[in-house]
């Protein structure tokens, strides 16, 4: 297939490439075979590239191709609670909203409904890869992996571990052994359905330090070493949580040290939030090669704090964006881009003048940054020969007078035809939504589309 028309992707943290007349050739395995710019005639492109003379052409008009988004932290099991958080903050939010909902997902039929809807929803927002938390239940965690594999969404799927009395008795691991053996069972299952980890991979998931004993954490660290699996958890999200960790782990130097001692800080570790870290903690995380998921919508919604992303970037940490549903109120990484920009501007207005993030920077975090966080930077995140075609087709049109039952109307962005490609991208970031995402591919497979496109 040849994808014809404008394409946009990050070339560095601060730069986007805006190619007006592109042609990207994707072979039958979903890998990019060529990328051409300034194309005048697609027939010339076909003739020039071996194996593409008979290629199918998918053309984008009034828009552009953009790499699929990477959601580096979200809870599929909290999807029904999206938007429900009231006035709570982290520790009472968990008890009031989160544990009751997650525990109900032991039920296969409910999990089937919730998880398949969430995968549809995230795909519709252009998320081609997600790092998911499920629940403590192995059968339904495995079901989430089945759904991602069959729908074609790349995913890291984690069985949540928690064995302390922070969690209610009805929703808790009964022992350290159970946390370990259930984690192992889920890893084995996910590896059995996708042995090469092309689409789905397991991820070891201690919920966060307060919900695990130090023995439980160490067992999971050893399991990560033994299996080579990814790890995800939460860190320094809110101040009372940091205080709680200090009291629960009195011999540890810091929150970061709790994970480090347990062997949980590796280059395959995703740490969500990282709002309230000290300088030495940041240095340790960097030294271990662990990655950060920035979740600005959640951090504001449950009033956890403003993550100092500029400072973390300056320290050289690898950062992606996470929706953190349902601490976060949106399944959209595009929304998360805006929220990251807003939080950085609030920081700029209050204290840290040079903290403002640019459109280019947040789009980098949403794609290449996220790819590095989930360990897929060699495969996805941008458009180069040898990378896989994980992409979304973005279309922008004005709202038609009198509505548009069948007509052209895509999203909350009005464009009139005289905008440059750069202006279109800026407008999309600030006022676009899932209506603009009219088609989504993972490894060349069409995984989502809206009715009238590519019919
Ligand atoms: N910390 C421990 N569990 C959670 C969770 O489910 N969501 C968020 N945002 N933080 C957590
Ligand atoms: Fe979370």
* Predicted ipTM of the assembly: 0.99
454 in any annotated domain: no
Cα dist. 154→65, 126, 448 in Å?
19, 12, 13
- Shortest-distance ligand to the CA of residue 235: 1
432 in any annotated domain: yes
Tell whether ligand 1 has an atom less than 6 A from the beta carbon of residue 158.
no
Domain stops at, among 352, 373, 394: 373
Tell whether ligand 1 has an atom less than 6 A from the beta carbon of residue 298.
yes
Look at residues 310, 267, 318 and name the one whose alpha carbon lies nearest to residue 292: 318
Separation of 234 CA from ligand 2 center, angstroms?
6
Domain around 60: 2-67+382-449
* Mean pLDDT value across the chain: 97
Domain stops at, among 373, 390, 418: 373
Examine the domain organization and report whether 181 and 54 are in the same domain.
Answer: no
Examine the domain organization and report whether 364 and 397 are in the same domain.
Answer: no
Percent helix, strand, coil in the chain, to 5, is 40, 20, 35
DSSP 356: P
Q: How confident is the model at residue 26 (pLDDT cuts 50, 70, 90)?
A: very high
The pTM of the full predicted model, rounded to 2 decimals, is 0.98
Tell whether ligand 1 has an atom less than 6 A from the beta carbon of residue 182.
no
- Ligand 1 pocket mutation pick from 71, 96, 98, 167 by most atoms within 8 angstroms of CB: 98
Q: How confident is the model at residue 455 (pLDDT cuts 50, 70, 90)?
A: low
Shortest-distance Cα residue to atom 9 of ligand 1? 327
Kindly calculate the radius of gyration of the chain based on its CA atoms and give it in whole angstroms.
22
Domain stops at, among 342, 373, 404: 373
Res 403: pLDDT = 76
Separation of 40 CA from ligand 2 center, angstroms?
47
Examine the domain organization and report whether 221 and 273 are in the same domain.
Answer: yes
Examine the domain organization and report whether 213 and 319 are in the same domain.
Answer: yes
Residue 327 Cα: closest atom of ligand 1: 9
Tell me if 67 sits within 8 A of 337, measured CB to CB: no
Tell whether ligand 1 has an atom less than 6 A from the beta carbon of residue 102.
no
Total count of domains within the chain: 2
pLDDT tens-digit readout, 107-152 = 999 999 999 999 999 999 999 999 999 999 999 999 999 999 999 9
Examine the domain organization and report whether 391 and 335 are in the same domain.
Answer: no
pLDDT tens-digit readout, 126-138 = 999 999 999 999 9
For residues 278-292, average pLDDT? 98
Residue 454: pLDDT above 90? Answer: no
Examine the domain organization and report whether 230 and 144 are in the same domain.
Answer: yes
The enclosing domain of 195 has a CATH number of: 3.20.20.140
For residues 426-442, average pLDDT? 96
For residues 361-365, average pLDDT? 99
Examine the domain organization and report whether 55 and 155 are in the same domain.
Answer: no
For residues 431-441, average pLDDT? 96
Mapped onto helix, strand or coil, the DSSP state of residue 342 is helix
Res 321: pLDDT = 99
Question: Distance between CA 285 and CA 254 in Å, rounded?
Answer: 12
414 in any annotated domain: yes
Residue 407: pLDDT above 70? Answer: no
């Amino acid at each position: 297939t040849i994808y014809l028309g404008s394409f946009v992707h990050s070339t560095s943290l601060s730069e986007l490439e805006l190619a007006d007349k592109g042609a990207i050739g994707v072979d039958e395995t979903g890998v990019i075979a060529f990328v051409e710019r300034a194309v005048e005639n697609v027939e010339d492109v076909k003739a020039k590239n071996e194996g593409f003379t008979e290629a199918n052409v998918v053309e984008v008009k009034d828009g552009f191709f953009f790499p699929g988004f990477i959601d580096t932290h979200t809870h599929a099991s909290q999807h029904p609670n999206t938007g429900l958080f009231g006035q709570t903050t982290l520790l009472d939010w968990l008890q009031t909203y989160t544990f009751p909902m997650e525990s109900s997902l032991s039920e296969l039929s409910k999990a089937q409904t919730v998880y398949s809807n969430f995968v549809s929803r995230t795909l519709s927002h252009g998320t081609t890869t997600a790092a998911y938390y499920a629940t403590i239940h192995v059968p339904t965690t495995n079901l989430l992996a089945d759904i991602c594999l069959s729908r074609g969404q790349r995913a890291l799927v984690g069985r949540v571990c928690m064995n302390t009395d922070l969690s209610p008795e009805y929703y808790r691991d009964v022992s350290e052994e159970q946390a370990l053996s259930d984690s192992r069972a889920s890893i084995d299952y996910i590896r059995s359905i996708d042995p090469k980890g092309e689409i789905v991979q397991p991820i070891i998931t201690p919920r966060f330090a307060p919900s695990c004993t130090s023995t439980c954490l160490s067992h999971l660290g050893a399991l990560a070493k033994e299996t080579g699996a990814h790890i995800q958890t939460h860190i320094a999200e809110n101040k009372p949580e940091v205080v709680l960790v200090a009291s629960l782990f009195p011999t540890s130097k810091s929150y970061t040290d709790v994970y480090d001692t347990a062997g949980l800080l590796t280059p395959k570790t995703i740490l969500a939030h990282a709002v309230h870290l000290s300088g030495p903690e940041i240095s340790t995380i960097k030294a271990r090669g662990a990655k950060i998921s920035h979740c600005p919508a959640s951090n504001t919604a449950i009033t956890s704090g403003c993550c100092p992303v500029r400072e973390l970037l300056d320290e050289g940490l690898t950062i992606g964006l996470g929706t953190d549903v349902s601490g976060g109120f949106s399944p959209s990484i595009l929304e998360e881009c805006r929220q990251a920009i807003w939080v950085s501007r609030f920081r700029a207005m209050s204290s840290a003048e040079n903290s403002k993030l640019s459109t280019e920077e947040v789009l980098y975090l949403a794609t290449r940054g996220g790819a590095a966080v989930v360990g897929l930077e060699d495969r996805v995140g941008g458009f180069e020969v040898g990378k896989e075609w994980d992409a979304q087709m973005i279309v922008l049109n004005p709202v038609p007078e009198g509505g548009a039952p069948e007509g052209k109307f895509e999203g909350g962005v009005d464009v009139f035809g005289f905008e440059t490609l750069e202006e279109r991208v800026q407008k999309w970031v600030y006022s676009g939504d899932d209506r603009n995402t009219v088609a989504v591919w993972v490894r060349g497979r069409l995984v989502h589309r809206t009715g009238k496109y590519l019919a």
